[in-house]
Each structure stands twice: as C-alpha cells, then as structure tokens.
Amino acid sequence: MAASLTTQREPRPLRVLLVDDDPDYCALVRLRLARAPNLHHALDIVHDVDQALGLILTNRHDVYLMDYELGAGNGLDLVRHARAKGRIGPFVMLTGAAVPELDEEALGAGVTDYLLKSEMTSDNLARTIRYAVERHRMTEALSAREQAWRVVLEAADGLLVVDLAGVVLFANPAAESAFTSRRGSLVGTPLGYQLKPGETAQLVVRRRGQV
C-alpha cells in the first residue's frame, strides 16, 4: 500500500517594523507581540529615524509601529517623509497620552491608527495591527478600482452602459462626444438598441458628413 505525503506551506509572517528609541519599551512591545493570539509575525526594531526611513522605503514590511517622540524628531515627521517618497503605510502611532489635537494631526499626516501605550495589551496591539493592515488593503483596493475607472473614463473608445430596456446608465466622454455635443445628455435616454442580459455589442457610429 503506497502512502503519499503532502506538505502545506506555512503562511508568510506579518512583517512588523517598530521604530522607537527606548530599548526597554521595544522589549515590552516584543513581549506583547510574542503573546498576541494568532498573530504570526516577524518583528524588526530600529531606534534611528534615518535608518527607519530607509527601511520603510524598501517596502519590506506590512505595518509600521512608531513612537511619537523619537529623539530630536517625532513619528509624525517620519510618516510625512515616508508618504512624500511614496510609502503610504499602514502606520500605527504609539502615544503616551490621549491628546485630541495630536490625534487629528496624526490622521491628517497619514497615520492609519494609534494606540495609547498605557492601554497596550497583547490583544489590543494585535487588534490594532490587524485593523491597520486590513484598512490599508481596502484603501489600496479602492484606489486600484478608481484607477481602473479613470482609464475607462479617459479611454479613446466610447463606452456605454445600458439597462435591459436600452436606456443609457453611463457614458464616458468619448461616447458622449460620438453621440452628442452636450456633456451628460446621454444618461437616462434610450439608446434605441436593446441587448440581451450579459450581451456585449460593438456599435459603429458615423458622424454626418463622414463615411
């Protein structure tokens, strides 16, 4: 009797970069992450802002944890520099006190979420990281869909979306230009050409005076 063995590849760990200039606090974060339930991760720690920015720009990590106070600089400046160079996170700010003005400034700078150090348990830390990563992925997915629609809108070929009765629901600028000279006048009007559900049709539009 022959036996076959199958192996499953272990999922890639969530790559976390911690930026903090306090070695004791870094050790505490490492301990909290080690005890976090169901958080398969790999942690890197840096204490220097310039080194942190260099690592962020390599795009090797899935989430960035950073203290607000980082020696001569601060975490918000680091986020701003990273975003200015094309990295959009996700960034989680670790703060010592709840200051509404700081929260607003952090969100405006591009911070995905923040966590009070006094409330940092293993559960809270893991939950905050998962939320930040998931929110970042959703934001990137929305951005990709927006980019796809932008391609459609700017396409040289006309594109119409109609309902089963042949009424125009959407028309990109190229289609508007082909059918009419007034922007937005096609939507809501009957096309005069009915389609079957799921059918795609190609129409050839000839302007008056053209062959």
pLDDT band of residue 99 (cuts 50, 70, 90) is low
Determine the pLDDT at residue 187: 81
Task: Give the residue among 107, 112, 123 at the shortest CA–CA distance from 63.
Answer: 112
Give the model's confidence band at 145: pLDDT under 50 very low, under 70 low, under 90 confident, else very high: confident
Question: Highest mean pLDDT range out of 6-15, 68-77, 159-168?
Answer: 68-77
Greater confidence (149 vs 189) lies with: 189
**What letter does residue 118 receive in the DSSP assignment?**
G
104 or 34: whose pLDDT is higher? 34
183 contacts: CB under 8 Å, gap ≥ 6: 173, 176
Give the pLDDT confidence score for residue 72 in this predicted structure: 73
- What is the enclosing helix (H) or strand (E) of 142? helix 122-153
Inform me whether the pLDDT recorded for 209 exceeds 50.
no
Per-residue pLDDT band at 211 (split at 50, 70, 90) = very low
pTM for this model (two decimals): 0.66
Query: What are the φ/ψ torsions at residue 114 (nearest 5 degrees)?
Result: -140, 160
Mean per-residue pLDDT for 147-164?
71
With bands split at pLDDT 50, 70 and 90, how would you rate the model's confidence at 28? very high
